[in-house]
Amino acid sequence: MPGLIGKKIGMTSVFSAEGKNIPCTVIEVGPCVVTQVKTVEIDGYDAIQLGFEDKKDKHTSSGEKGHFKKAGVSPKRHLAEFKGFGNDYKLGSEITVDLFTDAGWVDVIGTSKGKGFQGVVKRHGFSGVGEVTHGQHNRLRSPGSIGAASYPAKVFKGTRMGGQMGNERVTVQNLQVIKVIPEHNILMLKGSIPGSKGSIVIIEK
């Protein structure tokens, strides 16, 4: 789907026409430039590659410099590929947040905050199996039994246990577009999106 690369700025709230306080996420979206155009004849499918945020030459490899030079743009820090744009854009074309002016709803893809190693109560919402009234003192947040003994004599794959939580790719669908501010490249969406302040996200129609 058509989309752009953006950076999460933070959260705020706005009032609706009915006087309701709506929590919103503020995202700096674009401007993104076209760094590569893929076609069915050459690549087997139609798509465009977009770049976001300038990068210093000293931090750019030789291969990347040639890639951006061919497109006639300065080196970019973040790249992403999008389908559905058609043949309207050429190498070096700039796409701004105006893309979402007529979009009522969007999907946002980002990397969630990392929580480190967490137990089953926080990670999976277990209630804990501890009986406080029977004198035990150190198993209040344990997962309990994870399988039978003699049969099947193993722990099934996918059993919910403690482990790494967060820091994974997350897609939030159908977020309402509250406001578009083209002069500041700002997009305001209803609700929250994955990631911390300053993290890179992909917004798709």
Predicted local confidence at residue 137, as pLDDT: 75
> Within 13 Å, how many C-alpha atoms sit on residue 23's CB side?
5
Residue 116: pLDDT band with limits 50, 70, 90 = very high
Q: Are residues 129 and 101 in the same domain?
A: no
Give the domain extent around 138: 117-165
User: Domain of 28: which CATH number?
Assistant: 3.30.160.810
Q: Are residues 37 and 123 in the same domain?
A: no
Structure tokens at 15: 């009032």
Q: Are residues 65 and 89 in the same domain?
A: yes
Q: Are residues 10 and 75 in the same domain?
A: yes
> Could you tell me whether strands 186-190 and 169-181 are parallel, antiparallel, or unpaired per DSSP bridges?
antiparallel
Q: Are residues 101 and 149 in the same domain?
A: no
pLDDT tens-digit map of 54-109: 999 899 999 999 999 998 899 999 999 999 887 778 888 899 999 998 888 999 99
Total domain count, the chain:
2
Angle at 27 between CA 24 and CA 33, to 5 degrees: 155
Q: Are residues 158 and 196 in the same domain?
A: no
Q: Are residues 7 and 81 in the same domain?
A: yes
Q: Are residues 27 and 70 in the same domain?
A: yes
CA 148 to chain centre: 39
Q: What is the arithmetic mean of pLDDT over 138-149?
A: 86
Structure tokens at 129: 């199996």
- Residues above pLDDT 70, as percent of the chain: 99
Q: Are residues 46 and 59 in the same domain?
A: yes
Q: Are residues 56 and 130 in the same domain?
A: no
Q: Are residues 85 and 63 in the same domain?
A: yes
pLDDT tens-digit map of 4-44: 999 999 999 999 889 999 999 999 998 999 999 998 999 89
Q: Are residues 103 and 121 in the same domain?
A: no
Describe the strand order of the beta sheet including 76-82 as a list of residue ranges.
76-82, 47-54, 32-38, 94-95
- List the one residue out of 43, 50, 108 whose CA is nearest residue 77: 50
What letter represents residue 51's amino acid? G
CB 195 within 8 A of CB 110: yes
